[in-house]
Structure 1
Amino acid sequence: MVQAHPQFHTFEDFLAYTEDIEAYYELVNGALIEVPPESDENLYRALQLYEALQPLVGMRQIRLQGLALAVPGEPKNRYPDLTILRPEHPDQMGALGRAAITLDMLPPQLVVEVVSPGAENHRRDYIDKRNQYEWRGIPEYWIVDPVVGQVTVFSLTERGYAATAFTGDAVVASPSFPGWSLTATAMLAL
């Protein structure tokens, strides 16, 4: 007997179907594609950033992985390494019953991705996700790249994202979080 693979037409269909599934999936052209687990080094870097950002935004507005973010294009969702929510998001997600930000919600304040080694991962974070986060209207996107030793801050302008790269002992400047004081070296450290 051949089992039919479900097709999903909306992000809400995807959320309903994956509610009781433990793994993470991206919705690509109506099909589920399992997202591989993160490396321990990336998880640790994201955790360090979580702890550094928490005093600036509070625990209620910060999420480590596991948050399904609806985006335009393909795939239709991403699981950022770290997300800073807007104040209304926790209540909206509570009403939704899922750790998810749908397209009808405002975009998060900040999304952070930690780049894994490999050309495909580099392309995904620097091109695919960058474009999707820009199209989604996310005000700020950070790429923490231990492979090239830099942190890139993308700030949304009227013309799209403007990028600023930070290396070494340069303090990473965040337009959304002026109290941020970590250097690129500190953000890249294990």
Structure 2
Amino acid sequence: MVTTQPQKLTFEEYLAYEDDTENRYELIDGELVLLPPESGINDWIARYLFFSLASSGLIPPPLIAIHTCELQVPVLQPGEAANRYPDLVVLRQEHWELTQKRLTITLEMPPPRLVVEVVSPGKTSRERDYQRKCAQYEATGIPEYWIVDTQQEQVTVLCLEEGRYIEVGVFGQEAAIISPTFAQLKLTVKQIFSSGLG
């Protein structure tokens, strides 16, 4: 019996792909890879950050997306995804019109203002968020990237300067998070990690 290999998709073909489900996929080497559901803790932290940013008055709530905003990113190493779904994205005003049909920010569009990833447990997840996604977001020109580490209970803030991420700080415990993009934001790491049921 002869089997045919499914055709590899370009990113443009992927954008046109429909399977009538709510599934989220990463496009890796032209193939669709189904993303698993978010963990409870990651989802809660993303929702808490949404609440904190929206209630700060610094960002209109429609410009904050959790888990649903897709970013096209450059593939820098073999086997990397050509798209990512960050845990939280702060969009620019012009994205509102550009994403009415699909909440995807392509490389031709201006980059979002801020991207946040909540690190899931495990070595693979840590390497992906701290290294691979970091390099992709840097290459995309995203001006600020937060890594919320649930194991270390700390937040790393990176800021783009001359095309490279520099570390603004690694904030833990009682520390207030310093955001170059949203300098008036008042948020401590403790608030993020003590905001649940515990």
Same fold (TM over 0.5): yes
Equivalent residue for 2:84?
Answer: 78
Task: Give runs of aligned pairs for residues 20-169 of structure 1, distance below 5 A.
Answer: 20-54=20-54, 55-73=57-75, 74-94=80-100, 97-158=101-162, 160-163=164-167, 164-169=169-174
Q: Does the CA-based 8 Å contact 2:138-2:163 persist in structure 1?
A: no
Identity of aligned residues (%): 43
Q: Closer, same or farther in 2 for the Cα pair 1:63/1:131, shift >3 Å? A: same
Equivalent residue for 1:173?
Answer: 178
Distance 1:6 1:111 in 2: 32
**Stretches of 4+ moved more than 6 A in 1?**
none
Aligned residues: 187
Q: Does the CA-based 8 Å contact 1:65-1:79 persist in structure 2?
A: yes
Q: 1:50-102 deviations in whole A, cap 9, x for unaligned?
A: 000113201121101111110001210000000000110010011xx111101
Q: Does the CA-based 8 Å contact 2:141-2:163 persist in structure 1?
A: no
Instruction: Give the structure-2-normalised TM-score.
Output: 0.90
Q: When you count helix as a share of all residues, which structure comes out higher?
A: 1
**Shift of the alpha carbon at 1:4?**
4.4
RMSD: 1.4
Instruction: Give the structure-1-normalised TM-score.
Output: 0.93
Distance 1:149 1:140 in 2: 19
Q: Which runs of 5+ in 2 are unaligned?
A: none
Q: Secondary structure at the match of 2:43?
A: helix
**Shift of the alpha carbon at 1:122?**
0.5
Distance 1:141 1:67 in 2: 15
Q: Which runs of 5+ in 1 are unaligned?
A: none
Distance 1:19 1:107 in 2: 28
**Shift of the alpha carbon at 1:19?**
6.6
Q: Does the CA-based 8 Å contact 1:144-1:187 persist in structure 2?
A: no
Q: Secondary structure at the match of 1:23?
A: coil
Distance 1:159 1:52 in 2: 29
